[in-house]
Structure 1
């Protein structure tokens, strides 16, 4: 056959038809692979925003029972797992708990059987779990990734199984100015992961481990796209002590119902019964001002000795204001992608209120940061009417996008030269959802100098561990804004505290009793109406006095606080809280020590945590059922997806989501057809030119 332009055209048409057929077959195969699998009744599915595939959700429901008594809350969290597939599975669930929680127990419930946990050194617990998994035994492992992020692994969930995992912890509650705030976190906000080198995966998350965040894949659970079918839900029940009968209750985050119980307690629960876990549960209790005690003492006897552990909350009297010193205010605002939506609205409102509170003798500066940072002015400006008006316009134009490179921006501020005669304050407004907390803590210890740093945690699921720890290292305070409605009140409290004199060089002496292992060892500076929480052990005596000395500016300050153990309130969780506080003290020393000194501190933490049955960075809880249910030892690992926090925007956090594999197919097919059409058009014109030449 002659190789003419007409033949080429016909061959191109046939070739294009073949390409379309191949692509269509590929699409059908991919749709079958990525479409919803055949599942049984009661199954939950979600579509991964990363892979676009439908996957079964092994976690059906979470239930939290919270008992609030005085300065502590005892909590039982029940996670209900099920396997609706035809194969044994291992469920991996990365979830949040309060950063001050002392987690001390885990149980597996399978029908009428209960499997209790033991605490082990972390790597040893992992080996016990992996051995049970490979032997085909049901097992559960609870690990701490951060003080506010934990991983539960449940192995050999057999087809048709329903397994309940019960976790128990106790957490301290802070009363400030007659207010107590209880936060039960429901979702791990997607973390920004900095770093220059990727190091593979150590967990089941969407991010790779990096040189800056070596465990990034362990703190970045897969994210369920908000438009796909809901995953598991959560219910919450809170019982308030009878001593709070007259307190004003307000739930900042959710609608709740309240019931009065016969014993005088108040019971609170979600109005909807259950909800999607996409924002923190925030409950605020306001007691009448006259009912706030000057001191509150809680005790619990140690199980293995005659000693008694205590928690003492002391509220020093208000110090009379001294002459106001001019301030140098640095406002550092997070405008990264995770702040898009309601979070940036809250941050803008808070910053505008901060500008309104500046005095005529103050100076101020604003720095916004995301993937990089930008300043309103290179140097702090006087708080004149003109400068403040320009600053308000600047704040109104702030937009959220990009990464969360907090460390370079913070270092830039900390290294600025100070102005003689001014007190420097740095106020950080952020959701704190990043993974390199330890790098930030180290930089603050080395570079903050005499400045004070205050944190304002913004949004529906902020990283409260980062915010509170930065405030601790910065000798400042921590403020939590969970809703636009409380911006004004919370920021007013913050600036009232900054304006009031601070008690520094706080020291304690005890009279009438002998005490040991008192924490915190380095007492913090005290702000207006801020309580001093002291944990310790009473080794001898029952009543006595606590003498507190400090300095308010250049003026000596002294007060005496009487206490009597016979009039104290007993709470069984105080020993566990004391043990957790001791872990925190040792962890701070571990952070400040070089590698040579860390080994001994780590060993001390492990021994202490095993004695008091605590989950820490170096110890885990593991439970194994000594029955082989899966002789092959093979099971499919499934990571439980987390919700996108309320108010967040998916495309600002992870980019354009892969909501379906057909999109890529149609893009490739369209490109192929377009290219083929261009070739056909060229050949057709070429053929017409040849024919015209032949006629002439």
Structure 2
């Protein structure tokens, strides 16, 4: 075929390459993507590209360059933008449309048409986004590359798939990525889940640096950048000047301030709470060992819970189940029962229907005096994101929600949105990262006592007032960043400074944090702060519009006005650009070319494609012999046999080998498949046992260990060794517990995040025993295990 790169459906792919440039300033990033299109066909085409963006991104620029002419898109009400686009195409003019998905704010679609034969176009897309703060103080920028097909709840009425996708190894266009980092603080390091070229510092102060993606990057993962600064927890304020051409008093005409607050307070962990663990058990969780990681994580969580709390475990897919009829008090008996259940947990519940179990959980009465903490583990591939966020928000007063996005392609809008609306914290686990450290970090946050009565007060010069753009702060956590945006209205009488004070109460004790800032606006920021402030206000208004019935249209109108004024995307607007006088009227329909996006090459993704229904009514599962195995194909057979309808279907591989079969010939078809994919027996090796998890498994719910053969094995000793070396005057369970603590401190300090809460329970248990010979026991334990741990290191 002489038309260049092609899709799985053998159609040409007009997108040839994507270049991404990132400008990081402190904890805000501006991302500019350039997409190169070329029509090598003999007829005009319309290219349609559905792709992911960060869920909290503010898209603020969209333009197209065709030859020497450039057209810059305007933000218009969505219906008007669609009408203008259709009118332009019917007149033979080139038009470009960019819009946010109605179901999820982290999915956008771009339409490029009409692109004449032999014509090229360069599309420029720009957005700004905040960098999320990781538990280790790194600032995380994610460039989503993988867009897995989103799960469509049954009965949703959508007949067409959300996106055309192919395995990452078959993506027919290239990606280049570079970033420039600038900060008032020195840059310690920049890391990534992808191969990077060495960091290049641009000055001796190390406050400016550049980094590029290494050669040979594959589209098999999202590109994740982690930026580390020295003195990361320093509060900061940026005052940005308004746009000269904008009307004074308007959002874009007035200065806007962005405050980054890191409240610091000390408090003992709460020894109560109702902990609900909601685990995704859909088919996609079977990929890459995700469900196994979830099982190990549940073990750590269950061992780390405080005595006196309550808990329950829920699994969800197409349906959901729960371990106990209602939350139960944490004890040795209930913990053991939960651990037995966790051992057999598998990814066997089908799709990813998260709305139903959430509704069920919220209907359950809360346990009195036990603050509810919801932990959600999912690979985040759902279509009805906005409905989920609305549900979490409407129940935010009764719980805190902590979320964990597992694997490539997890929806940032779902993961970060649920945590934000539920007053918790979001974490992402990609590549070979371990889930357990991040979950335990979030559990420590969840055990912080609730902060209540939060208020924000401003001290500003006479004549100046602050109009909040952010929703009211409802949660604060020690050391966790809180962002506040506000519009500064009025004329400054000459004073150069202001301040903001955040007051709150925790455990009955009032506290406050104050931040002073200069009022001299910064004019060299590209209106980044204004656009992020506008995006924050737009998202709040969109939530309000979805919840309100009578005022819904009025709020929608306000969102459209704000979106048009600020040039920032919203759910009700679209970017539209028309190249006037660019061609003759098109006769007949344009050839539509769907640009595929990379997906994780697993059964869930294949199943989503398999159930696509093309215009000709044929079901066409596409089988690529290089990337699918026999087990996957047998899953296909089960899926088709369960459909129960007489559809025509075909099967083909990359060589266009294929035949068509009626539904009744499914077994004949699969026999053909079996011959193409001969089964190779794989040796079944038992999974390796993690020594740390083995040690933690042996701990009792109240925090102690006992001298048993399994403990001796975990310590690398014999049962006789443990008994012989025990000081005479110490009880066996105390001796076993001290040995476990010494082993953790002596051999597993690099994993301290994972066992810290387990060790705290053990130390509390030892203290309660009022042991008088701790020093002698520690010395004996060091001798036995070959360690040099001090009693003070153990916290005793």
- Give the equivalent residue in structure 1 for 2:437: 489
1:655 shift after superposition = 5.4
Q: Describe the shift of the 1:554–1:65 C-alpha distance in structure 2 as closer, same or farther (beyond 3 A).
A: same
1:666 shift after superposition = 6.6
1:189 shift after superposition = 2.0
Q: Describe the shift of the 1:576–1:316 C-alpha distance in structure 2 as closer, same or farther (beyond 3 A).
A: same
C-alpha contact (below 8 Å) 2:26/2:183 kept by paired residues: no
Q: Deviations over 1:472-509 (max 9, x none)?
A: 33222222222442423312321121122332221111
C-alpha contact (below 8 Å) 1:180/1:284 kept by paired residues: yes
Residue 196 of structure 2, aligned match among 240, 256, 261? 256
- Give the equivalent residue in structure 2 for 1:355: 302
Q: Deviations over 1:85-109 (max 9, x none)?
A: 2211100101111111111111111
- Give the equivalent residue in structure 2 for 1:523: 473
The count of residues paired between Structure 1 and Structure 2 equals 607
- Separation in 2, partners of 1:654, 1:395: 31
Matched ranges for 1:360-379 at <5 A: 360-379=307-326
Q: Describe the shift of the 1:80–1:383 C-alpha distance in structure 2 as closer, same or farther (beyond 3 A).
A: same
Q: Describe the shift of the 1:672–1:224 C-alpha distance in structure 2 as closer, same or farther (beyond 3 A).
A: closer
- Separation in 1, partners of 2:218, 2:667: 47
Which stretches in structure 2 are left out of the alignment for 5+ residues? 612-620, 624-650, 670-796
- Give the equivalent residue in structure 2 for 1:694: none
Residue 372 of structure 2, aligned match among 421, 424, 439? 424
Does residue 295 (structure 1) correspond to residue 236 (structure 2)? The answer is yes
| Secondary structure class of the residue paired with 1:258 | coil
Does residue 65 (structure 1) correspond to residue 60 (structure 2)? The answer is no
| Secondary structure class of the residue paired with 2:11 | strand
Q: Describe the shift of the 1:351–1:670 C-alpha distance in structure 2 as closer, same or farther (beyond 3 A).
A: closer
Does residue 396 (structure 1) correspond to residue 313 (structure 2)? The answer is no
- Give the equivalent residue in structure 2 for 1:180: 139
1:555 shift after superposition = 2.0
- Separation in 1, partners of 2:431, 2:335: 26
| Secondary structure class of the residue paired with 2:139 | strand
C-alpha contact (below 8 Å) 1:338/1:652 kept by paired residues: no
1:457 shift after superposition = 1.5
1:633 shift after superposition = 4.4
- Separation in 2, partners of 1:482, 1:597: 41
Q: Deviations over 1:436-487 (max 9, x none)?
A: 2233234334556522222112111111112222223322222222244242
- Give the equivalent residue in structure 2 for 1:215: none
- Separation in 2, partners of 1:533, 1:226: 36
| Secondary structure class of the residue paired with 2:433 | helix
- Separation in 1, partners of 2:475, 2:663: 63
Residue 436 of structure 1, aligned match among 381, 384, 391? 384
C-alpha contact (below 8 Å) 2:33/2:125 kept by paired residues: yes
- Separation in 2, partners of 1:557, 1:183: 35
- Separation in 1, partners of 2:153, 2:541: 27
Q: Describe the shift of the 1:580–1:356 C-alpha distance in structure 2 as closer, same or farther (beyond 3 A).
A: same
Matched ranges for 1:287-686 at <5 A: 287-288=229-230, 290=231, 292-303=233-244, 304=246, 305=248, 307-317=254-264, 319-322=265-268, 324-342=270-288, 343-401=290-348, 402-446=350-394, 450-513=398-461, 514-539=464-489, 540-541=491-492, 542-566=496-520, 571-572=525-526, 573-594=528-549, 596-634=550-588, 635-645=590-600, 649-651=604-606, 653-654=608-609, 657-659=621-623, 660-661=651-652, 663-665=658-660
1:372 shift after superposition = 0.7
1:653 shift after superposition = 4.6
| Secondary structure class of the residue paired with 1:256 | coil
- Give the equivalent residue in structure 1 for 2:644: none
C-alpha contact (below 8 Å) 2:71/2:577 kept by paired residues: yes
1:301 shift after superposition = 2.9
C-alpha contact (below 8 Å) 1:454/1:477 kept by paired residues: yes
1:517 shift after superposition = 2.5
1:158 shift after superposition = 1.7
1:312 shift after superposition = 1.0
1:521 shift after superposition = 3.3
- Give the equivalent residue in structure 2 for 1:39: 2
Which stretches in structure 1 are left out of the alignment for 5+ residues? 1-37, 48-52, 201-205, 208-219, 675-696
- Give the equivalent residue in structure 2 for 1:169: 127
Farther-moved stretch of structure 1 (112-121 vs 478-487): 478-487
| Secondary structure class of the residue paired with 1:468 | helix
| Secondary structure class of the residue paired with 1:520 | coil
Matched ranges for 1:104-123 at <5 A: 104-123=60-79
| Secondary structure class of the residue paired with 2:444 | helix
TM-score, normalised via structure 2 length: 0.72
1:69 shift after superposition = 0.4
C-alpha contact (below 8 Å) 2:269/2:444 kept by paired residues: no
1:296 shift after superposition = 3.6
- Give the equivalent residue in structure 2 for 1:192: 151
TM-score, normalised via structure 1 length: 0.81
Residue 285 of structure 1, aligned match among 206, 222, 227? 227
1:152 shift after superposition = 0.5
- Separation in 1, partners of 2:406, 2:533: 29
Q: Describe the shift of the 1:469–1:665 C-alpha distance in structure 2 as closer, same or farther (beyond 3 A).
A: closer
Q: Describe the shift of the 1:633–1:127 C-alpha distance in structure 2 as closer, same or farther (beyond 3 A).
A: farther
Tell me how large the CA RMSD over aligned residues is: 2.7
- Give the equivalent residue in structure 2 for 1:16: none
| Secondary structure class of the residue paired with 1:624 | strand
| Secondary structure class of the residue paired with 1:98 | coil
C-alpha contact (below 8 Å) 2:31/2:127 kept by paired residues: yes
Q: Describe the shift of the 1:620–1:670 C-alpha distance in structure 2 as closer, same or farther (beyond 3 A).
A: closer
1:566 shift after superposition = 4.1
- Separation in 2, partners of 1:668, 1:418: 50
| Secondary structure class of the residue paired with 2:355 | helix
1:322 shift after superposition = 4.7
- Separation in 2, partners of 1:94, 1:548: 42
Farther-moved stretch of structure 1 (65-74 vs 79-88): 79-88
- Separation in 1, partners of 2:667, 2:211: 61
- Give the equivalent residue in structure 2 for 1:133: 89
Structure with greater proportional strand content: 1
- Separation in 2, partners of 1:392, 1:39: 59
C-alpha contact (below 8 Å) 2:409/2:599 kept by paired residues: no
C-alpha contact (below 8 Å) 2:452/2:505 kept by paired residues: yes
